[in-house]
Amino acid sequence: METALAGRPVFVTGATGFIGRRLVAALVAAGADVGVLTRSRSGLRDLPKGVRPVIGALTDEAALARALSGTAVLFNLAYDVRATAAANLAGFERLLSAARSARVGRIVHLSSIVVYDAWPAADCSEAGSTGRPGGSAYRQAKIAMEKRLLAQPLPAAILEPTIVYGPGSALWTDGFATALLAGGVVLPEPEGLCNGVFVEDVVQACLKAATLPDLGRERFVISGPEPFPWSALLQGYARALGRGEVFRVPAAELLARLGPKPDETTDRAPSAAARVSAILRRAIGHRRFEALMGAIRRRSGKTGRLEPDHHLLEEFTGRGTCRIDHARRRLGYAPEFDLAAGLAATADDLKRMAG
């Protein structure tokens, strides 16, 4: 992969995010000529030197087309969870139009396992259906993006990662660690399986997709070597933190506490707090903002015990396995991090949080 990428012009959206930062570092290490889209120069602090920054957003199609001119591989990792799904779709359409105008060589697009109807209750593979109506606005946006990529002429690899954990994962690592430090995490009894994938394995899949010789328009489920119990992940975090408890409550009791499931289909505008957080992220950088908010939550001592909401309860009780056979065969994808290796690679970051 390093030989195939050396000297090639590539462009990354979502470059300052959790996965994007690691992908950019891997591309720079491979000798690629890396351009990145960032909303402010503060985001460049978290990226290696030598990248070509384009300061802006997915709103200026002409600027995007100029930035993408001559690009061999466009890695699209951008999705702003603080904006509406409609806004994200509009940005995606502008990016796709600019990529076609610039005659980009191929697109590697980060989607999500949530597009599949079976997730998380049953097994998932690329042959699964994504046609079930409803679900969150995020899910529907990801499905719409996949359909657009499959219908357009450029070669495209659509990667569908599962639960991506590792140092800096705001939800699946840092969020759980903060809860463990502040009161513990409640798991349902019986618990389900976590289809976790360590962040570096997702980066590996991106690089494999970028260098596949005969890429068409294809989808790939990306997960770790084997699923594992959720308790194994959380207890591993607790060991690294030096404290933190995992509680167990019957699933039926947790469901009764939650009451009726809210309507997820409404594409709501971001709250005032979300808009303020977006401004702060741009001003001080993504990583500094997450570190600051985590420290505030931990020192306030007000987070308390984390009980799952409807969405997390579905995740915690799901028994499906996400099949990566197609990615293994077609991409040569070979996940290197089982749970033990992933926890070992996350331990130092968790120890810093505990300190």
Under 8 Å between Cβ of 208 and 202: no
> Residue 177, CB half-sphere, CA atoms under 13 Å: how many?
30
**For all residues of the chain together, what is the average pLDDT?**
90
> Which residue blocks in the chain are alpha helix, DSSP H?
2-5, 18-29, 61-68, 85-101, 137-151, 176-182, 199-211, 230-241, 251-258, 272-284, 286-300, 310-317, 325-331, 339-354
The H or E element that residue 217 is part of is: strand 217-222
- Please give the pLDDT value at position 292: 60
Residue listed under structure tokens 């308390």: 304
- Please give the pLDDT value at position 30: 94
Residues 344 and 168: their CA atoms lie apart, in Å, by: 14
Confidence of residue 56 (pLDDT cuts 50, 70, 90): confident
Residue listed under structure tokens 């396992």: 113
Under 8 Å between Cβ of 192 and 162: no
For residue range 86-128, list pLDDT tens digits in order. Answer: 999 999 999 999 999 999 999 999 999 999 999 999 999 999 9
Exposed, middle or buried, 252 (CB in 10 Å: 0-12/13-18/19+)?
A: exposed
Q: Which CATH superfamily is domain 2-164+196-227+320-338 in?
A: NAD(P)-binding Rossmann-like Domain (3.40.50.720)
Examine the pLDDT at 39 and tell me if it is beyond 70. yes
Confidence of residue 33 (pLDDT cuts 50, 70, 90): very high
Model confidence, pTM = 0.90
- Please give the pLDDT value at position 63: 82
Which amino acid is present at 21? R
Average pLDDT of the residues in 35-42:
84
Q: Show me where the domains of the chain are located.
A: 2-164+196-227+320-338, 171-177+179-190+228-317
Listed ranges 89-98, 266-275, 288-297, 298-307; the one with the highest mean pLDDT: 89-98
Examine the pLDDT at 289 and tell me if it is beyond 60. no
